[in-house]
Structure 1
Amino acid sequence: MKIALIQQKFHITKEATIEKSVEMIREAKDKGAELIVLQELHQGAYFCQSEDVNFFDLAEDFEKDKEFWRDISKKEDIVLVTSLFEKRAIGVYHNTAVVFDKGKIAGTYRKMHIPDDPGFYEKFYFTPGDLGFEPIETSVGKLGVLICWDQWYPEAARIMALKGAEILIYPTAIGWFDEDNQEEKDRQLEAWITVQRGHAIANGLPLVAVNRVGFEEDISGCLNGIRFWGNSFAVGPQGEFLARASSDKEEVLIVDIDKKRSEDIRRIWPFLRDRRVDSYQCLLKRFCD
């Protein structure tokens, strides 16, 4: 499987950002990509830096946006992973990944874990997903699509693996605050990469994480803004790096994934075989005494 990771910045307007996305998608297709993954909330700015009821209006175009990306997937004859702001009902909104397969909707995933941190006020906007952790069947294989904050939770990756996902995919929006010192920035970035490499290793699966890049101002003035750290990457089932992008540039990252390698690795590292499923009841509790 040849995959493209589209690492992109926000280009001032939705229209200009989408235009750039399409340009990069076509570049990826010209390089042979069958599966193309866009970053979290890729159509515009990362609006969750502040709490503003006017931003809910962005979700009014959800159905129109779906049709646009469906058309792109059909014209380019690709499987395309998008990340859109979904209005489900008045007062109920989701951070939603829609997967298109050559003009058809292959499946949908609604972000399950919702953060609430300075600059990342997602609980104000997003209702937790209710579709569970279900791999999406496509013409290139079963995709374990999760979103950003989900990437810190081994349970999400494990369930996707147990249900037959052939690859783990994380559209992402994460970055630094310029006020932090370099040591703290390095710790945060390495933690982000390390935890996801752990998911790949523990489940014997390849994994791709596609992050935003560039500085986005907090227009509310509460904070200065976020410098999204890029570093989109792909690893194999032993956590080995297959590709990694820069921290400050837009890039089309092309990666070849050998799906058969997962079976080979699981045979020599049979982590799933040796699970003690009779002893994991504590995982179903918030906290174990």
Structure 2
Amino acid sequence: MREIVIGAAQMGPNQKADSREAIVARMLALLEEAARAGCTLVVYPELALTTFFPRWYMEDQAEVDGWFETEMPNAATRPLFDRARDLGIAISFGYAELTPDGHHFNTQILTDRQANIIAKYRKTHLPGHSEYDTERAFQHLEKRYFEPGDTGFPVWRTQDAVVGMMICNDRRWPESYRVMGLQGVELVILGYNTPSVNSQDSREGEDKRLYHSELSMTAGAYQNATWVVGVAKAGDEDGHPLMGGSIIVDPNGYVVERAKTTGDELLVHACDMDLSVFGKETIFDFKRHRRIEHYGLIASQTGVVVKV
């Protein structure tokens, strides 16, 4: 058995006025809880160190850059890395990354159990818009503040498993899972910050959004015979509610752990990576069953072209 005891560390809201240090203190508390539960990997949400700042329209680039991290670890996050090393727990979390050459990415990292960063993923599918939208109930300006990721969807071997990452909106795109599935992924870890209401359609409330979030992750898990761990930042951030719905999904698409709150909450599950083997060798044996001669449009075309 290749077992990883995973802690899905859902976080409650980060307010605009909260310091990085105060937020990291909460992350540390979840890490300590995970250690008591025997976890060897803890996964935190997207943009774990800040509020979901793309809801705010900003024109001053210096103000924007204040939400970004220029190095990792840094002074604020060093205690998290140090304690993870002491406990022998790998960690993964998302943050806004400003590179030395001036690029802005929505990023997630993964460490080994010695707190060395061994993997970095940059969000591919950026939702939202780039200019102020008077028709929306609130703004979602990821396309303004971030560039599309330049990493693609790589996988890494760690803790005797093949691990990949994605972030938030990536979970809604089957291509995200399939590219990693074709590399033998056994565990997909992802963080998200998802508003409880659709800014363009108020009829789509939290129940429907939770359903679609779970549908995306369970389908991705099943169709690629992989564990999926989806971790939310949730609750009311400065008057803007984010939904929870953190889950751990097994390689057959079944939810084995589900968050009950919209606050700081740890889900724990002993995930046997060998559970992915059966699906990969039978119904989703890609080598035997895929017919790539018919899939050309997927990689050659973005929008819909009606030819009839």
Runs of 5+ consecutive residues of structure 1 not aligned to the other structure? 218-224
Tell me whether 1:286 sits opposite 2:299 in the alignment.
no
Which residue of structure 2 aligns with residue 141 of structure 1? 161
**8 Å CA contact 1:114, 1:149 repeated in 2:** yes
CA contact (8 A) 1:144 1:161 kept: no
Distance 2:105 2:77 in 1: 14
Distance (Å, rounded) in 2 between the aligned partners of 1:271 and 1:48: 40
Residues 46-65 of structure 1 mapped to structure 2, 5 A cutoff = 46-52=52-58, 53=61, 54-63=63-72, 64=74
Q: Counterparts of 1:172-251 in structure 2 under 5 Å? A: 172-177=192-197, 184-217=205-238, 225-251=239-265
TM-score, structure 2 length as denominator?
0.85
Residues 134, 13 of structure 1: alpha-carbon distance in 2 compared, 3 angstrom cutoff: same
Matched, 1:104 2:119: no
Q: Which runs of 5+ in 2 are unaligned?
A: 130-137
**Corresponding residue SS for 2:263:** coil
Output the amino acid matched with 1:4.
Answer: G
Tell me if the contact between 1:161 and 1:203 (Cα under 8 Å) persists in the aligned partners: yes
* Contact 2:126/2:148 (<8 A) preserved: yes
- Distance (whole Å) between structure 2 residues aligned to residue 21 and residue 67 of structure 1: 12
2:273 corresponding residue in structure 1: 259
Give deviations 1:210-237, integer Å, cap 9, x for gaps: 00111012xxxxxxx4311111001111
The equivalent residue for 2:133 is none
Please report the RMSD computed on the Cα atoms of aligned residues, expressed in angstroms. Answer: 2.1
Q: How far does residue 67 in structure 1 lie from its aligned partner after superposition? A: 4.8
The structure 2 residue matched to 1:151, chosen from 171, 176, 194, is 171
Corresponding residue pairs, total: 282
The secondary structure found in structure 2 opposite 1:62 is coil
Task: Please give the alpha-carbon distance, in whole angstroms, between the structure 1 residues aligned to 2:51 and 2:20.
Answer: 8
Greater helix content? 1
Alpha-carbon distance in 2 for matches of 1:60, 1:255: 31
CA contact (8 A) 2:186 2:225 kept: no
- Segments ≥4 residues shifted beyond 3 Å: 65-70, 177-184
CA distance in 2, matches of 1:201, 1:178: 27
Work out whether residues 119 and 226 of structure 1, in 8 Å CA contact, stay in contact via their aligned partners in 2. no
Q: Which residue number corresponds to residue 83 of structure 1? A: 94
Counterpart Cα distance in 2 of 1:187 and 1:75:
41
Q: CA deviation at 1:175?
A: 2.4
Q: Give 1:258 deviation, angstroms.
A: 1.4
1:7 and 2:6 matched: no
* One-letter code aligned to 2:280: R
Q: Does 1:165 align with 2:192?
A: no
Tell me, yes or no, if the aligned pair for 2:165 and 2:188 is still in contact at 8 Å: yes
Measure the CA separation in 1 of the matches of 2:276 and 2:142: 34
Distance in 2 between residues matched to 1:124 and 1:178, nearest whole Å = 19
Match of 1:45, SS state, is: coil
Tell me which moved more, 195-204 or 80-89: 80-89
| Partner in structure 2 of residue 220 of structure 1 | none
Whether contact under 8 Å (2:227, 2:249) holds in the other structure is yes
State how far apart, in whole Å, the 2-side matches of 1:46 and 1:226 are. Answer: 9
Q: Assess if the C-alpha contact under 8 Å between 2:50 and 2:67 holds in 1.
A: no
Identity over aligned residues, as a percent? 26
What amino acid maps onto 2:272 in structure 1? D
SS in 2 for 1:59: coil
